[in-house]
C-alpha cells in the first residue's frame, strides 16, 4: 500500500472579497521532491499556500496534509513568508526570531528549554547563520534575513515546507545557496512547495513544476513542460514570440 501524499489538493476553490481566486485546482506534492509553483501575478499562488496552511477556508474542494485536513498551527508544516510579510523591526535577536517557529509546539506560555535552543542552533547552522545567533535581526542584510526565515521554518522539523517567493530581492549567490538547501531538504524526505517568479531557476532547479493561473494548468517534470510552449502561453498569457518561452526552453537544455 503506497503512502499518502504529503499534500493533496482536490478540486480546490477559494473566494477572497467575494471574488473567486482559485477554482478546480488539483495538486499533489510528494515527499522527496522540490516542486515549483509558477504563474503570473494574481494567479493565486500565495492563496494556494494559505489554503494549505489552513488559514483560508475553501469554498469547495479539500486540502489534506499527511492525509488529514489542515488546521492552523497544527499541521506538520514549515512556512517561509515573503520577507515584507515579516516584521523585522522588532528588537529581537536572530535566535529569538527562529525560536518563534516553535510556538505551535511550545504554546504561548512555556519558555524554550535547552533542547529547544539546541534545535534553534541546528536550524541556524543549516542555513549557515549560526555565527549570527545573537545579532539583532534588524541589522541583517536581505539575504541573511531570508535565511533566518528559512531557519525559523525548519526549527519545528516539519514534513512539509512551504516557501513563498524566497528569492525576491536576493543576489545570485544567495539564490544559489538557498536553491541547493531547498533541494537537499526535499531529497532528505520532505515535501517542498515553492512559489517563484524565477522561471529559469525553477526549470533548472526543481524536480517538478506546477503551472497555476487561478487553476492548476499542468504539473510535470521541468524538461517535459519546457517543451510545450502552449502551456506556458496559456499560464502566462504570452504570445508565441515571447522571450519567456525562449528562456524556459534554454534552461531545460
Q: Are 162 and 77 in contact (CB under 8 A)?
A: yes
Predicted confidence at residue 73, as pLDDT, reads: 61
Instruction: Indicate the pairing of strand 191-195 with strand 34-38.
Output: parallel
The Cα 76–Cα 78 span in angstroms is 7
Please check the confidence at residue 227 and state whether its pLDDT lies above 80: yes
CATH classification at residue 206? 3.40.50.300
The answer on 103 and 59 residing in a single domain is: no
* DSSP state, residue 110: P
Range with lowest mean pLDDT among 57-71, 122-136, 197-211: 57-71
Asked if pLDDT for residue 103 goes beyond 50, the answer is yes
Residue 120 has pLDDT above 60, yes or no: yes
Range of the domain at 110: 87-157
Residue 148 and residue 172 share a domain: no
- Co-location of 131 and 185 in the same domain: no
pLDDT band for 1, please (50, 70, 90 cuts).
Answer: very low
Q: Residue 216 has what pLDDT?
A: 97
Q: Are residues 94 and 149 in the same domain?
A: yes
Answer yes or no: do 34 and 66 share one domain: yes
In this structure, the number of other CB atoms found within 10 A of the CB of residue 42 comes to 11
Mean pLDDT within 200-217: 94
Question: pLDDT for 20-66, tens place per residue?
Answer: 999 999 999 999 999 999 999 999 999 999 999 999 999 999 999 98
Q: Does residue 81 lie within any of the structural domains?
A: no
Claim to verify: residue 148 and residue 177 sit in the same structural domain: no
Residue 72 has pLDDT above 80, yes or no: no
Whole-structure pTM value: 0.91
Is the pLDDT reported for residue 106 higher than 70? no
Amino acid at each position: 500500500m503506497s503512502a499518502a501524499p504529503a499534500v493533496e489538493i482536490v478540486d480546490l476553490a477559494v473566494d477572497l472579497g467575494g471574488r473567486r481566486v482559485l477554482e478546480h485546482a488539483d495538486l499533489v506534492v510528494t515527499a522527496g521532491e522540490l516542486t515549483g509553483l509558477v504563474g503570473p501575478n494574481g494567479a493565486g499562488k500565495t492563496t494556494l499556500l494559505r489554503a494549505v496552511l489552513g488559514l483560508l477556508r475553501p469554498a469547495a474542494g479539500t486540502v489534506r496534509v499527511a492525509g488529514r485536513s489542515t488546521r492552523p498551527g497544527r499541521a506538520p508544516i514549515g512556512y517561509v513568508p515573503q520577507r515584507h510579510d515579516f516584521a523585522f523591526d522588532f528588537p529581537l535577536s536572530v535566535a529569538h526570531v527562529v525560536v518563534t517557529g516553535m510556538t505551535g509546539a511550545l504554546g504561548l506560555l512555556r519558555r524554550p528549554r535547552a533542547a529547544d535552543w539546541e534545535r534553534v542552533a541546528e536550524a541556524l547552522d543549516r542555513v549557515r547563520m549560526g555565527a549570527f545567533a545573537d545579532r539583532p535581526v534588524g541589522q541583517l542584510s536581505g539575504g541573511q534575513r531570508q535565511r533566518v526565515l528559512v531557519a525559523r521554518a525548519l526549527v519545528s522539523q516539519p514534513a512539509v515546507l512551504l516557501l513563498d517567493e524566497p528569492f525576491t530581492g536576493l543576489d545570485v549567490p544567495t539564490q544559489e545557496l538557498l536553491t541547493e538547501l531547498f533541494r537537499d531538504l526535499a531529497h532528505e524526505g520532505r515535501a517542498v512547495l515553492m512559489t517563484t517568479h524565477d522561471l529559469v531557476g525553477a526549470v533548472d532547479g526543481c524536480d517538478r513544476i506546477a503551472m497555476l493561473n487561478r487553476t492548476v494548468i499542468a504539473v510535470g517534470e521541468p524538461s517535459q513542460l519546457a517543451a510545450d510552449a502552449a502551456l506556458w502561453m496559456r499560464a502566462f498569457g504570452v504570445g508565441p514570440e515571447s522571450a519567456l518561452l525562449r528562456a524556459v526552453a534554454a534552461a531545460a537544455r
